[in-house]
Amino acid sequence: MEQVSYGSLAKKARMSAREMRQVWDAAAQFDETVTMTSRLAGRLAAKRIEPMPYARAPLFERMLLREPSLFSNFPLPEGEAADPRPSGPRVAQEIRAGFPRAKRARVRVRQAIEYLPIPGVMDRWARARSVFGVTDLHYIGTRFDDRVDTRNLNNFNLLPRGTQGFQSQDSLVISSRGAISDSHSDDHSGSNHCFTGAKLWLLWDTLEGLENGVEDAEHCEVYGRAAFDLAAFSAMRSSRWIFIGPGQTMFIPGNLTHKVITLEKYLGLGSFHAGLPGFVDLLIRWTQLRPIWASTAADHPCSVEFLTRRAIRKIRDLAEAGRSERHRWGLPHLKMRLQRPDLEPAVLKQNSALADNPDLAAFLAAAARLA
């Protein structure tokens, strides 16, 4: 069998039909529901999110459109190392040494959960003899946090940095070839950076998926795997796919359910964020589907109201800020969002849930005053 360099394929702005077939056939070895037929190939080709050079404006433009993005040169330097782009082997060493001895990682092995010391996880990852995944190994406050500079992932983030449900939850992602994250959503918008390896991400709007029989494990009663059909996925207006490889960084809006398949053993990190350009749509999303992380107590930090007040304070701060700071936080893109017809009072009144949402009303009022 021909040896395929999936990392090299991920870097290509354009994939040939043969290369795309290689990616999807590899994924289908581990999950037969993503088996691509010739009939679906053309439709899926048009759904790929292609890598682009990073700049702040395109990121905010994609947020404004509620579209995912994939960047090839997002600035993620290594804190104390001479190499500004941390390599897979170096990151593996930092993970092995970067946590207290008592720290355990939550490891999913097929349908079971194990809790293992970090060096043991890295030994298993290096041997590559079993299928497993780690997705929520929080590193904030550890030695690893000092050694790998991830501040750029959060320098436009309205969420406070931390490990609780309403916070950024910066975490390492460690998975073997063949590991699958079943269809789920996070309610927050998210980012994922790849140090080494390759993954296929399938993404679609949660509500559109539910309307078409494509399940989300967070919002459906799922026994075994969430229901998924590739033909239904490819026909959805919102469906997209990302093939991410070494050195690439992706951002996805909070309305998207995702199913993820590892094609080459993977080291990466992810975090959650809320940016001003997409905050209106997060509030709309959280009205349609209550966040799984949210407390019912309005004054609790883990609540939509708390995050809304935080966003409003940022808007007020930016009223006194200079042009560069306003652009860094995406204020011009927020202003563009306010001009969309769906936010006109007469339109909002047609949707009682949105019209009666005090958080959305307070945020829109604060943003309109600044605009």
Q: Is the pLDDT of residue 4 over 90?
A: no
Average pLDDT over every residue of 48-68: 96
* pLDDT at residue 79 in the model: 46
Model confidence pLDDT, tens digit, residues 161-183 = 999 999 999 999 999 999 999 99
Q: By the 8 A CB rule, do 284 and 355 touch? A: no
Residue type, 104: R
Q: By the 8 A CB rule, do 47 and 118 touch? A: no
| DSSP reduced 3-state for 208 | helix
Average pLDDT over every residue of 329-354: 94
Across all residues in the chain, what is the average pLDDT? 92
Q: Is the pLDDT of residue 187 over 70?
A: yes
* pLDDT at residue 295 in the model: 77
Q: What is the DSSP letter of 226?
A: P
Q: Is the pLDDT of residue 197 over 60?
A: yes
Model confidence pLDDT, tens digit, residues 285-315 = 999 999 988 877 767 888 999 999 999 999 9
Query: For the chain, where are the E strands, in sequence order?
Result: 69-71, 104-109, 112-117, 133-138, 171-175, 180-184, 189-205, 240-244, 249-252, 256-273
Model confidence pLDDT, tens digit, residues 239-281 = 999 999 999 999 999 999 999 999 999 999 999 999 999 999 9
How many C-beta atoms surround the C-beta of residue 3 within 10 A? 4
Domain 6-273 has CATH 3.40.50.2020: no
The rounded distance, in Å, linking the Cα atoms of 33 and 40 is 13
Model confidence pLDDT, tens digit, residues 86-143 = 667 889 999 999 999 999 999 999 878 999 999 999 999 999 999 999 988 999 999 9
Residue 236 phi, psi (nearest 5): -75, 140
Average pLDDT over every residue of 310-324: 95
* pLDDT at residue 77 in the model: 61
Average pLDDT over every residue of 51-55: 95
Q: Is the pLDDT of residue 41 over 80?
A: yes
Paired strand residues for 138: 171
Domain ranges of the chain: 6-273, 276-370
**Residue in the structure block whose two tokens are 């679609």:** 204
Q: By the 8 A CB rule, do 274 and 307 touch? A: yes
* pLDDT at residue 75 in the model: 87
Q: Is the pLDDT of residue 21 over 90?
A: yes
3-state class percentages of the chain: helix first, strand second, coil last, to nearest 5: 40, 20, 40
* pLDDT at residue 2 in the model: 52
* pLDDT at residue 332 in the model: 95
The rounded distance, in Å, linking the Cα atoms of 109 and 111 is 6
Q: What pTM did the predictor assign? A: 0.94
Q: What percent of the chain has pLDDT over 90?
A: 82
* pLDDT at residue 86 in the model: 62
* pLDDT at residue 148 in the model: 85
Q: Is the pLDDT of residue 213 over 80?
A: yes
* pLDDT at residue 82 in the model: 42
The rounded distance, in Å, linking the Cα atoms of 308 and 81 is 38
